[in-house]
Chains A and B, each alone.
Chain A
Amino acid sequence: MKISAIITLKKDVLDPQGKVIQQALDGMGFKNVDEVRQGKYFEIDVKENDPKKAQEIVEEMCKKLLANLVIENYKIIGTQ
């Protein structure tokens, strides 16, 4: 079962990469951008057929390795 998770920076953490991307977009003519925040996306194929259990496993992975909870949040966004 494939579980998708995204990791995003918490609101008050500076994201210099997002800022540079925003500046580049601005230079390209995308003038209507307020802010860009860069994050990470994971697609994890878990050997588990019960969606709830599979999500729990990935959530554990997020807490223990994929995200650093001091600066990042995680969210399970899909199951297939």
Chain B
Amino acid sequence: MKSSVITFPGSNCDRDIDVALKKFGFKNQMVWHNDNQLPKSDLVVLPGGFSYGDYLRCGSMAAKSKIMQSVINFAKSGGLVMGICNGFQILVETGLVPGVLLRNKYLEFICKNVFVKIDNKDNPYFKNLDKEVFKFHIAHNEGNYFCTTDQLKEIEDNNQVAIYYCSNNGDTEERFNPNGSIKNIAGIFNKEKNVLGMMPHPERMIDQSLSGEDGSLFFKNLINNIK
């Protein structure tokens, strides 16, 4: 299985996701933002970081970089595109997934482990996962998911919410919401569910001695789903 990770100026989780993808069997290659053509891939990942210094709005400039036209075409033809953290911010700026990510509600950079609920399994990312509550890491300043009331209705009608912030037993009450996101939304799909944007970093949970293995479960399952 081939994956591509796009490196933008200011990306800083590109190497982490490279390590994670390779660990679980992907043949990964790094692709520079200024390239025109995406190599043949089964999965494209937009990594976390601070592309273009977060100038203007997070992800806004990266969304217009050269390689993105190729990524957008890949996504529109059904290819799997996953954006993590800044990658999610880039995805919303391309319009591939609906909504935007605003400044965290309490104006602080949040860097901690959180529990998230994944119960939407009818998609290539989470199909066959045999649990619902995962412990992932978040590290962001702009993760406060927002969309219009009309968009929210459409998102919910199409079952596009991918991940919710929750308690350790899967309770998605407002008090388990770290950043003010509408409906505790931590991740979202496009309508077709081949594009996934999420604030949590599964690539930071792939080693028992460092963090935890919940990311390992995700990546192992993902490669099996794609095969």
A18 to chain B, nearest CB (A): 11
Contact A65 B64 (CB under 8 A): yes
Known A-B contacts A14-B180, A70-B147, A71-B146; the reply to A20 vs B107 at CB < 8 A is yes
Report Cα–Cα, A22/B148, bound state, in Å: 25
Report Cα–Cα, A13/B105, bound state, in Å: 12
B66 to chain A, nearest CB (A): 15
Known A-B contacts A14-B180, A65-B64; the reply to A71 vs B100 at CB < 8 A is yes
B57 / chain A contacts, CB cutoff of 8 Å:
68
Whether B2 sits at the interface, judged by CB under 8 Å, is no
Whether B10 sits at the interface, judged by CB under 8 Å, is no
**Secondary structure of the A side of the interface?**
helix
A13 / chain B contacts, CB cutoff of 8 Å:
102, 146
Whether B210 sits at the interface, judged by CB under 8 Å, is no
Whether B203 sits at the interface, judged by CB under 8 Å, is no
How many inter-chain contacts with C-beta < 8 Å in the A-B complex? 35
B54 to chain A, nearest CB (A): 14
In which size bucket is the chain A interface? 10 to 19
Excluding A14-B105, A14-B146, 9 further A-B contacts by CB distance (< 8 Å) are A16-B104, A64-B64, A65-B60, A66-B56, A68-B60, A68-B93, A70-B100, A70-B147, A70-B151
Most chain A C-beta atoms within 10 Å of own C-beta, residue among B57, B104, B148: B57
* Closest Cβ neighbor of B104 among chain A residues: A16
A14 / chain B contacts, CB cutoff of 8 Å:
102, 105, 144, 146, 180
Whether B109 sits at the interface, judged by CB under 8 Å, is no
B100 / chain A contacts, CB cutoff of 8 Å:
68, 70-71
B180 / chain A contacts, CB cutoff of 8 Å:
14, 16
Report Cα–Cα, A68/B93, bound state, in Å: 8
Report Cα–Cα, A16/B148, bound state, in Å: 18
**What sequence of 0s and 1s flags, for each residue 57-68 of chain A, a beta carbon within 8 Å of any chain B beta carbon?**
000000011101
Contact B106 A16 (CB under 8 A): yes
Contact B103 A17 (CB under 8 A): yes
Q: List 29 A-B contacts (CB under 8 A).
A: A13-B146, A14-B102, A14-B105, A14-B144, A14-B146, A14-B180, A16-B103, A16-B104, A16-B105, A16-B106, A16-B180, A17-B103, A17-B107, A20-B107, A64-B64, A65-B60, A65-B61, A68-B57, A68-B60, A68-B93, A68-B100, A70-B99, A70-B100, A70-B146, A70-B148, A70-B151, A71-B100, A71-B102, A71-B146
B56 / chain A contacts, CB cutoff of 8 Å:
65-66
Report Cα–Cα, A4/B103, bound state, in Å: 25
Instruction: Report B127-182 residues with CB < 8 Å from chain A CB.
Output: 144, 146-148, 151, 180
Instruction: Report A1-44 residues with CB < 8 Å from chain B CB.
Output: 13-14, 16-17, 20
Top 6 closest A-B pairs, CB basis?
A70-B100, A16-B107, A71-B100, A68-B100, A16-B103, A68-B57
